[in-house]
Chain A
Amino acid sequence: MSEKHIERSYDAASQKMIKKADEENIKIAWDRYDAMQPQCGFGELGLCCKVCNMGPCRIDPFGEGPQEGVCGATKDTIAARNLARMIASGAAAHSDHGRDIAHALILAAKGEAHDYHLKDTEKLKRIAEIYGIDTQGKSIEKIGEELGESCLSEFGRQHGELRMASRAPAKRQALWRKLGITPRGIDREVVEIMHRTTMGVDNDYKNIINHGMRAALADGWGGSMIATELSDILFGSPKPIRATVNLGVLKEDQVNIVVHGHEPTLSDVVREAAKDAELLELAKKYGAKGINIAGMCCTANEILMRHGIPSAGNFLQQELAILTGSVELMMVDVQCIMPALSGVANCFHTKLVTTSPKCKFPGVEHMEFKEEKALEIAKDIIRKGVENYKNRVKERVDIPGEIKGLVAGFTTENIFHILGGRYRATFRPLNDAIISGRLRGAAGVVGCNNPNIRHDWAHISMVKELIKHNVLVVQTGCSAIACAKEGLLTPESAFEYAGAGLQEICEAVGIPPVLHVGSCVDNSRILLILSEAIKEGGLGEDLSDLPVAGAAPEWMSEKAIAIGFYFVASGVYTVFGTPHPVLGSENLTNYITNELENVVGGKFAFEADPIRAAQMMIKHIDKKREALKLPPLMYEREPVRMSNNG
């Protein structure tokens, strides 16, 4: 009778499971969101400060109550400090991930972790060069070890500049230097945010945000980039690959093991471990046809990009996967893992297992993952799942049939090859397409899910609007999965949804109009794609000249704030769905949505309506085209009409 399940998600598979949860009286994220209403306006506006014991303080948004905290901090300071701490947290998460990959690289190179190998040795050498490592006459292992150590030292670096930042266009690097925001050391910038935002330190909101940008850059051109590049080295650089997504990837007749979290050091090895003959025998013994590994969230994207392992869904589907009653074991490492999982798992036979000492649940089994014994531990975890198959209750198994194919695996490097053809690795065709007006420009649509907006709907609506107007879209994270579920990440979708110009490109080159470039740390790939486009020439000299825009229409995590800031600091106009918690400070809001463009060439916009947001991005891209004096678009004579309030 209630249409709640349809309101809550655009995705049919999710709708089914949401309905099931309701019928079985199992509370999931949307229920908890409803129960939390109304949510506190002080928090939403960024006007609540809990930094010290003279508080907690609230600034009255209506001007009658206190306008300063007990220490004298104004709403600008309070909101800016809160926002900076979100950047710190997001950057820390990505960077810790990078740290773990670097650590794994070293172990692999030294031969202390036999289950990891240096797969992409070409990339190893290329990245080693960026760190000034001489690759002549050295063994791969030695290069690997030195690279790993160099990357690790980026975390503890105190002076100078992060090496990866040197990959940005010269003009951009010069701007950062001029502004004093070139990242020095990954951990240092995060630590300094915590220092600046504690009681009695920075209370100039612009100064706070400027350092926030520095820390974000230490993420994007630091921690995240290290994670991406070293993951490519360790696990292989992705190549275009077909895969499947949505809850329908779970199999009724197989042992379903879900890997959820972020770090491929776990998921990549699990994928390998699942091929073990002994485990397969065991599975058959219990009556299962095989072992089905499916991923969720970013770790899914990592193994999807590299190996075509299916993804069971994105952030808001994590409880829903368990609700299918078909998951024998869900193992988690770090980030985006809902504490509610243990409660939902208890309603079914599903075993929840934590693997990282950084992420534990009370009362949940912990099987700590160690790189030195990676495959062995992975097999143990999988074995637990296989043993659990006999506890599956057939009557409660309800796997929605929705499953979609997609093409994933696009990276900075292979786009060269794809665009240039077999013989030329170049960005020229992409630049030419934009310059000639066949393509309007490009956009990155990324980010999470949030029950405060209809699940997947904003991502899908925005992307459809963009590609309709000949904007090539690159995606990462949960956003990519959302659009994949709609079928947008296939070459065929170009014919149904893309504008004429984009359609031509897709047809000529054989790519989808929407390119999956990976997990959330792989947003760093987008930075490099943009840098390559500049290098190729004809589209300006700095990243801020490019006819591009970014968006996170359903953002949830602090990581999204960090990513947003490193894109803005790199000169990209970035639209968020619901606003940052800053609206309580007009000054701060104005700074990040307006003035920042004059400082770093990029700024934020907040627009929850995805179509309006897409149109804002298109308008911005057109503005950049005009500034570059590019000819009008081939297939659109008129500019895009903004709906209602322009």
Chain B
Amino acid sequence: MAKDLLQKKKTKDIKIYCDITKCVGCKSCELACAVEHSQTKNIFTALREKTLPKKRVRAENVSSKIISLHCQHCEDAPCIKACMSGALSKDEKTGATLHDKDKCVGCWMCVMVCPFGAIVRDVENHIAVKCDLCPDREDFACVVACPTGALFVGTKEEFEKKIKQKKKG
């Protein structure tokens, strides 16, 4: 599993998908995301940090099911167009939508245009935050933390293939 995820880091056009038939709303993804984006990256000490870390993923009810929602790293990202400081940009190699917190001024234009509500305000630090595909680790915090395997990281084709296989089997 670890090797797979490491490989994914170099793949183009990957993002996090959620199989809603397997999400039970335990919010382990939210916890893991926050811890990963904390200073100390440890759940016990992360709680004591001066500004609490922000999660970039949310488990929400959709009809009678639950979905864990992430930034979709859109190909034609509205947030990049709206960003007036150049903080948001596209990584040409991986296709990921990157956010540079040093350039961010907290104008919330990206929050205003993200169709998925995936960008949240970090009010204490006055910057926007969103899924960054965990650049500081070899895998992806939420995917690793998901206890039911609802979260998948990969390309759309890979995810659709996985779902098809599941239906067959």
Contacts and interface: CB of A to CB of B under 8 A. Distances in A.
B26 A58 contact: yes
Contacts of A61: 24, 148
Given A38-B66, A40-B24, A60 B148 contact: yes
Interface in B58-105: 59-61, 66
A65 B59 contact: no
B64 to A, nearest CB: 10
Interface in B108-136: none
Interface in B135-153: 147-149
A58 B28 CA distance: 11
Interface in B29-75: 59-61, 66
Interface centre among B25, B27, B147 (most CB of A within 10 A): B147
A10 to B, nearest CB: 22
A327 to B, nearest CB: 35
A516 to B, nearest CB: 36
A495 interface: no
A30 interface: no
B67 to A, nearest CB: 9
A423 interface: no
B35 to A, nearest CB: 16
Contacts of B25: 38-41
A42 B149 contact: no
A39 B60 CA distance: 10
A64 interface: yes
Main secondary structure of the interface of A (DSSP, over half): loop
Contacts of A42: 24, 26, 147
A43 to B, nearest CB: 8
A339 to B, nearest CB: 22
Nearest to B146: A65
B27 A64 contact: no
A37 to B, nearest CB: 5
Nearest to A66: B147
Contacts of B24: 40-42, 44-45, 61
Nearest to B25: A38
Contact of B147 (A39, A44, A65): A65
Contacts of B66: 38, 41
A21 B90 CA distance: 46
A40 B148 contact: no
Interface in A49-78: 58, 60-62, 64-66
Nearest to A44: B24
A37 B24 CA distance: 11
Contacts of A39: 25
Contacts of A58: 26, 147
Contacts of A65: 147-149
A42 B149 CA distance: 14
A62 B59 contact: no
A38 B59 CA distance: 7
A44 B61 CA distance: 15
B63 to A, nearest CB: 11
Contacts of B26: 40-42, 58
A22 B136 CA distance: 44
Interface centre among B24, B60, B61, B148 (most CB of A within 10 A): B24
Interface centre among A38, A39, A61, A66 (most CB of B within 10 A): A38
B61 A64 contact: no
B5 to A, nearest CB: 17
Contacts of B148: 60-62, 64-65
B149 A64 contact: yes
A61 B27 CA distance: 15
A39 B61 CA distance: 9
B61 A37 contact: yes
Nearest to A39: B25
Nearest to A38: B25
Contact of B61 (A38, A40, A45, A62): A38
Given A37-B61, A38-B61, A38-B66, A62 B27 contact: no
A39 B66 CA distance: 9
A45 B147 CA distance: 14
Contacts of A64: 148-149
B147 A40 contact: no
A42 B26 CA distance: 7
Contacts of B149: 60, 62, 64-65
Contacts of A45: 24
Contacts of A41: 23-26, 66
B12 to A, nearest CB: 28
A42 B59 CA distance: 14
A518 B61 CA distance: 39
Interface in A134-180: none
A79 to B, nearest CB: 15
A45 B24 CA distance: 10
B158 to A, nearest CB: 18
Contacts of B22: 62
B128 to A, nearest CB: 23
Interface centre among B22, B61, B148 (most CB of A within 10 A): B148
Interface centre among A39, A44, A45 (most CB of B within 10 A): A39
B80 to A, nearest CB: 31
A311 B169 CA distance: 58
A38 B20 CA distance: 13
Interface string A7-50: 00000000000000000000000000000011111101100000
Nearest to A59: B147
A41 B27 CA distance: 10
Contacts of A60: 147-149
A61 B148 CA distance: 8
Nearest to B150: A62
A538 to B, nearest CB: 47
A38 to B, nearest CB: 4
Nearest to B19: A62
A37 B63 CA distance: 12
Contacts of B147: 42, 58, 60, 65-66
Contacts of B59: 38
A7 to B, nearest CB: 15
A64 B22 CA distance: 10
A182 B61 CA distance: 45
A45 B60 CA distance: 18
A61 B66 CA distance: 15
A66 B147 CA distance: 8
Nearest to B62: A38
Nearest to B21: A62
A67 to B, nearest CB: 12
B58 to A, nearest CB: 10
Nearest to A37: B61
Nearest to A34: B61
B135 to A, nearest CB: 27
Interface of B: 22-27, 59-61, 66, 147-149
Given A42-B147, A62-B148, 13 more contacts: A38-B25, A38-B66, A40-B24, A40-B26, A41-B26, A44-B24, A58-B26, A60-B148, A61-B148, A62-B22, A64-B148, A64-B149, A65-B148
Return the 3 tightest CB-CB contacts between A and B, nearest first: A41-B24, A38-B25, A38-B66
14 contacts: A37-B61, A38-B60, A40-B25, A41-B26, A42-B24, A42-B26, A60-B147, A60-B148, A61-B148, A62-B148, A64-B149, A65-B147, A65-B148, A65-B149
Interface of A: 37-42, 44-45, 58, 60-62, 64-66
